[in-house]
Copies of this chain bind each other. A is one copy, B any other.
Amino acid sequence: MPGTPPTRFVYLGPEGTFAEQALRTVPAAEHGDRTPARSVGEALDAVRAGEADAALVPLENSIGGAVGVTLDELAEGDPLVITREVVLPVEFVLAGRSGVTPGAVRSVAAHPQASTQCRGWLRDHLPDATVVDVLSNGAAAAGAASGEYDAAVCAPIGATRHRLTVFADKIADHPDAVTRFALVSRPGPPPPSTGDDLTSLAVYIAHDRVGALLSVLMELAVRGVNLTRIESRPTGEALGRYVFFLDCTGHVADVRLGEALRGLRRVCADVRFLGSYPRHRWSTAAGDRPTPAPAGLSDADWADAAAWLARLRAGELS
């Protein structure tokens, strides 16, 4: 029921990965059910089927980029909406069973993306160890716990779950790496506008021509709507046919974003609304702060223009 806080949560598993860690930052989830899913698709389908109220899935990583499967799953099937974003620092640790001494590590289990992000550290500190690819950060921790490997590159929560000893923490080469997750629900009234929101869209353009994408950007620009992200994904029909995933500043309830959305609806082959939600304040970097609206694009300017038009239509010009 719209408005009822979700109590049954599903997340991209297995247990002990960053997704579980992210979900635990959501207050309602701390006291609700938390069930791991084997894939993003399974997590989202559980929400679609009503077996869960909300799913926590990864959207993008500051090193690895978009999580394509999440975007694809959101763009297809029954509509779902993002109601919250969670941005989590990606802190990798090197961990192993108690009894293993760090100096004796010869084999390290790691998900390929994790070993990529820790490449410099591994080369400097474990130049002679063999890094073995495994299928998830959770599987790496499990492999170290079972003794199959001497150590694992994994999330702190993975070390905790599998009772591993942390040999070194913050071993990623980019100390500021983060992963952005989305909490996804069945459609319902969006959370209220906070004045610093994002709106996610999947936009299909009729032709893969620069002119068509230019039209999309013009619809946003004339309403002073900024893009914080644009991703293209193939539509699966043919190479060269794309769907664009846009994150825009503003909320569907805002006048200016509403007008921009109507514009996109008209000029695009299709637009799927993926939710309006408060922006996560993940950084104090200047570029991430909401910037004051440029001249003519503040809420007051929109109200003034609407009032002026109403006067024109009533014939009141003086």
A interface residues with partner B (beta carbon < 8 Å): 2, 60-66, 68-69, 78-79, 81, 87, 112, 116, 133, 135, 174, 176-178, 180, 187-190, 207-211, 213-215, 217-222, 225-234, 236-242, 252-253, 258-259, 261-263, 265-267, 273, 282-283, 285, 287-288, 295-297, 301-302, 304-306, 308-309, 312-318
Given contacts A217-B213, A238-B176, contact A187 B287 (CB under 8 A): no
Asked if residues B60 and A262 are in contact (CB atoms below 8 Å), the reply is no
Q: Which residues of B contact A177 (CB under 8 A)?
A: 236
Q: Which residues of B contact A317 (CB under 8 A)?
A: 79, 81, 187, 273
Question: 28 A-B residue contacts at CB 8 Å?
Answer: A60-B234, A61-B234, A62-B236, A63-B236, A64-B234, A65-B233, A112-B135, A135-B135, A177-B236, A180-B239, A187-B316, A188-B315, A189-B313, A208-B226, A210-B225, A213-B230, A214-B221, A218-B222, A230-B242, A238-B285, A239-B282, A240-B288, A261-B312, A262-B302, A262-B306, A266-B297, A266-B305, A267-B295
Given contacts A266-B305, A308-B265, contact A62 B238 (CB under 8 A): yes
Q: Which residues of B contact A288 (CB under 8 A)?
A: 238, 240
Number of copies of this kind of chain in the complex = 4
13 more contacts with CB within 8 A, not counting A60-B234, A176-B237, A189-B313, are: A64-B234, A66-B68, A81-B315, A135-B135, A189-B315, A210-B225, A210-B227, A215-B222, A222-B263, A230-B232, A238-B283, A238-B285, A239-B283
